[in-house]
Each structure stands twice: as C-alpha cells, then as structure tokens.
Amino acid sequence: MNKFSRFEKIVGKDSVELLSKKSVLILGVGGVGGYVCEALARSGIGTLILVDYDIVDESNINRQIIALDSTIGMKKVDVLKERVKDINSSCEVICIDSFIDNDNIKELFNYKFDYFIDCCDTVSTKKSVISKCLELDIKFISCMGTGNKLDPSKLEIVDIRKTINDPLAKIIRKYVNDMKTNKKVMVLSSLELPIKIKDRTPGSSSFVPGSAGLLIASYVVRDFLKK
C-alpha cells in the first residue's frame, strides 16, 4: 500500500502516474486556493506553482486551511509549501511571493504548467488571466465570489455566460461578452444570493470557500484524466 493506493482503486495506476507528471499554477492560496492545493497534493499532482504575496492573518482562521495560531504572520506560500511537502515529498513546489497585476502577470507565463487556477481577489487580474489564457490556449478555471455565502450546495462549475446571482461573475461575464470570444470560460460560481452586510469587507464561512476549492480541484483532476 502507498499513499495513493486508495485513489488508484478508482482511477487506476496509470492515471496516478499521469497526474504525477502534471503541473498546476494556483494564483491566490487563501480560502479557496488553499483547499485547491490541498486536494491536488493529495491527488499526486507532480508540480504545484503557488502564487500569493499575503501573510496569514488571525482573521483567516475561520476559512483557510493553512491558517492556525501557529502560522499567524507567516507567508502563505511558505506555509502551504511546507504542508504540501509533508503530504507528498515528491511534489515539486514553486513559490512566487508577489502581488500579481497587469504590470507583471506576463511573468507567470514564463513558467511551464498544464493548468492555471485563478483564486485571486483582484478583478483586473482576473480579467488579465482570462485574456492571457485564451490567447495562449492554456487550460484554466477562475473562481468567482464565495464571500457572504452560507450554502456550499449552491456552488457550480459553469461557463461564465451561465452564471447568475454572483456580483463578481456579473463583471467578468460582461468582460468576456465584450471580448466576443467563442471559447468557453469555465468558472466556479454560486447560485446563492449574497447575504447583505453593512461592511465593505465580505463575510465568510468555513465551508463555502473550502467546498469551492475542492470542487475546482476535482474538476481539474477529472479534466486531466479525460484523455
């Protein structure tokens, strides 16, 4: 028995071998992205490129898998790298400790990867990711809003044009429609109407971001195994 033997039972040994040769870039490793990384590491993905400039804050503890009393103040990418290596020492982990915007996003595409997973919070960066991935024909998926939500059963992965009740997706949907592209733009979005709060900083639960991350990881792994 090995650490992936239970997974091999449902996907086959050849599939596990295939995943070990795949590289995935995750932009943003907080509430959603942290769970994406966790699931991909436990699925035997060979290389994970982690992109985030933030440090663990006490307010992250309610929803981020890397946020503990013992990790407060530490760089998120460093904490997650250590966790991934403890799960699967064979996984190559590359950390990019940078804030990504329109000025430097091209640098990410100097790395070799098979899938781009966008879990960042910056709208302009999300737009740039979509544009660049479509231009270069790179597989990608982008996470829409998980804040102010309580029902993980309302999460779904769809083309951006089919999203509803998601304020962030509305902005991205208009951007994609204005691009007039025929290519699919797959996103994770929620059908749940956001809970109205008085603060500009969104509220969050422990289960919606985590469920979103696991759904995205499942989608990517299953996409790899389609062939």
Q: Which of 183, 168, 81 shows the shortest CA–CA distance to 119?
A: 168
Amino acid making up residue 226 = K
Q: Which domains does the chain have, with CATH numbers?
A: 13-225 (3.40.50.720)
Give the end-to-end CA distance of the chain in Å, rounded to a whole number: 26
Q: How far apart are CA 35 and CA 175, in angstroms?
A: 27
Q: How far apart are CA 147 and CA 130, in angstroms?
A: 21
> What is the predicted pLDDT for the residue at 199?
87
Cβ-proximal residues to 106 (8 Å cutoff; 6+ apart), any chain: 132
Look up residue 191 and give its two tokens. Answer: 């059908």
CA dihedral 87, 78, 133, 156 (to 10 degrees): 60
> What is the predicted pLDDT for the residue at 227?
65
Residues in the chain: 227
SS3 state of residue 114: coil
What is the pTM (predicted TM-score) of this model? Answer: 0.97
Q: Tell me if 56 sits within 8 A of 64, measured CB to CB.
A: yes
Q: Pairing relation of β-strands 186-190 and 155-159?
A: antiparallel
> What is the predicted pLDDT for the residue at 6?
96
| Interior angle at CA 49, CA 217 and CA 186, nearest 5 | 40
Please list the ranges in the chain whose pLDDT falls under 70: 227
SS3 state of residue 61: coil
Q: Which of 51, 44, 35 shows the shortest CA–CA distance to 90?
A: 44
